[in-house]
A = this chain, B = another copy of it.
Amino acid sequence: MTLTALETPALLLDRTRLERNLERMRAHVHGLGAVLRPHVKTAKSIDVARRALAGEPGGITVSTLKEAEYFAAQGIRDILYAVGIAPAKFAHVIELTRQGVELKVIVDNLAVARALAGAAQQARVTVPVLIELDVDGHRSGVAPEAPLLIAIGKVLNDSAGVELRGVLTHAGGSYDLRGAAAIADMAERERRGTVQAAERLRAAGCAVPIVSVGSTPTATFARDLTGVTEVRVGVYMFQDLVMAGIGVCSVEDIALSVLVSVIGHQPERGWIITDGGWMALSRDRGTERHDVDQGYGLVCDVSGRPLRDDLIVATTNQEHGVLTRRDRGAIDLARFPVGTLLRVLPNHACATAAAHTHYHVVDGESPEVVARWERFGGW
């Protein structure tokens, strides 16, 4: 099957670029003495996860228990659920633990640490737990230097039902930085805070086998991972315009795109109308405050090369995209007749992929669709 046989909008995944992105990150992290625990929240696909896991001894990271459920059923048994666990999810965690899944959860407060220990003890299971750290004021987590860290460590260490396995952080603040130097500094802050927390816990008598850090930007520019055991990354598999905008990748590394059709024009306004609206591209405007605002996405020809016209998806409705030149200059509309196929590169791979039920897999600029990989959403 070729691209012309697809009904648009359709999600495309370039396998060549995917493999290159996987290999580059793997080599970099291995070179620094750590291993990858790929985050499957971006791809939500067993086909992608298997490729990301190749050559890694550890398991995966998930963002929902539905992901944990799905990937466990596919045979991946070492799973880290990297969102603070809440009491309403204890029963589900216990159920997966009983099934033999090594499901690690994270906590950043005493109330949940104690409640989880109680629930697990009552269910006669032991749940492995990591303590979530906050190194950049970004969202959840305990400060590495806080007395609370040791208090949580002691609860986890001393209670039946739970077992302290390590510490974890995600330097999500790195998404707001620009360029290698600033992000490398953040990577060192992420490493230092996490290792510091591990050492404080060890000094207090706790075993801390896992020291887990991760974000695609910090992992890309980290120069030293001393003391870190694993790196969690997800977006690096596909990359996107936000990553390109902050210097983490080039536009040519982006493996994900949305195939759209031209469905009309508004000649007086210089608009090309396509069937790729925000439902297919997502509402994510992550490049809005970047030096280069990509609108709702950068427009490429059907083979994936950015058009010389420098077209972006300027505005969207649910199932309509309006393409203009970035500089709002005139377009030769005759070059884009109704039915023309175009590829749109996404601002944010996680959000764009989430709108679709499957990937049409392509290889570079070839028009052949070589596979269909399923993905899922929801909770």
Closest-by-CB residue of B relative to A358 is B378
Q: Residues of B contacting A54 with CB < 8 Å? A: none
Q: Which of A4, A115, A379 has the most CB of B within 10 A?
A: A379
> Are B84 and A263 touching (Cβ within 8 A)?
yes
> Within the assembled complex, what's the spacing in Å between the Cα atoms of A83 and B280?
14
Residues of chain B within 8 A (CB-CB) of A378 are: 355-358
Taking CB atoms, residues of chain B closer than 8 Å to A284 are 278, 283
Task: Decide: A338 near B87, CB < 8 A? Known: A92-B7, A140-B320.
Answer: yes
Shortest C-beta distance, A324 to chain B (Å), equals 12
Given known pairs A284-B283, A379-B10, the reply for A265 and B63 (CB within 8 Å) is no
A190 at the interface (CB under 8 A from B): no
How far apart sit A351 and B317, CA to CA, in the bound complex (Å)?
A: 11
Instruction: Tell me the smallest distance from the CB of A356 to a CB of chain B, in Å.
Output: 6
1/0 per residue A236-273: CB within 8 Å of B? 00000000000000000000000001111110010001
**CB–CB A83/B320 < 8 A:** yes
Residue A85 lies at the interface, judged by CB distance under 8 Å to chain B = yes
Interface of A is mostly: loop
Set B65, B109, B379: member contacting A264, Cβ < 8 A? B109
* A34 within 8 Å of B (CB atoms): no
Partner of A86, one of B88, B263, B266: B263
- Contact of A354 with B by CB under 8 A: yes
The one of B269, B283, B320 that contacts A351, using a Cβ cutoff of 8 Å: B283
Contact: B7 with A317, CB < 8 Å? no
Interface centre among A115, A137, A279, A337 (most CB of B within 10 A): A279
Interchain CB contact under 8 A, B282 and A139: no
> In this complex, what residue of B is CB-closest to A90?
B339
CB distance from A168 to the nearest CB of B (A): 14
Interface residue A313 (Cβ < 8 Å from any Cβ of B): no
The reply to whether A265 and B338 contact each other, CB–CB distance below 8 Å, is no
Most chain B Cβ neighbours within 10 Å, of A8, A63, A86: A86
Q: Are A6 and B283 in contact (CB under 8 A)?
A: no
Which residues of B lie under 8 Å from residue A10 when comparing CB positions? 379
Whole-angstrom CA separation of A134 from B137 in the bound complex = 48
What's the Cα separation between A137 and B270 when bound, in Å? 12
Residues of B within 8 A of A322 (CB): 139
Assess the B139–A7 pair: CB atoms within 8 A. Answer: no
| Residue A366 at the chain B interface, CB threshold 8 Å | no
* Among candidates B112, B263, B354, B356, residue contacting A140 with C-beta atoms closer than 8 Å: B263
**Least CB distance, A1 to chain B, in whole angstroms:** 13
On whether the beta carbons of B354 and A355 are closer than 8 Å, the reply is: yes
On A, residues with C-beta under 8 Å from B are: 4, 6-10, 41, 63-65, 83-89, 92, 108-109, 111-112, 115, 134, 137, 139-140, 172, 261-266, 269, 273, 275, 278-280, 282-285, 317-320, 322, 337-339, 341, 348, 350-351, 354-358, 377-379
Beyond A88-B261, A115-B338, A140-B264, 18 additional pairs, beta carbon < 8 A? A7-B88, A7-B379, A8-B88, A63-B319, A83-B263, A83-B275, A84-B263, A86-B262, A87-B338, A109-B264, A112-B263, A134-B266, A139-B322, A278-B284, A279-B377, A285-B285, A356-B379, A377-B377
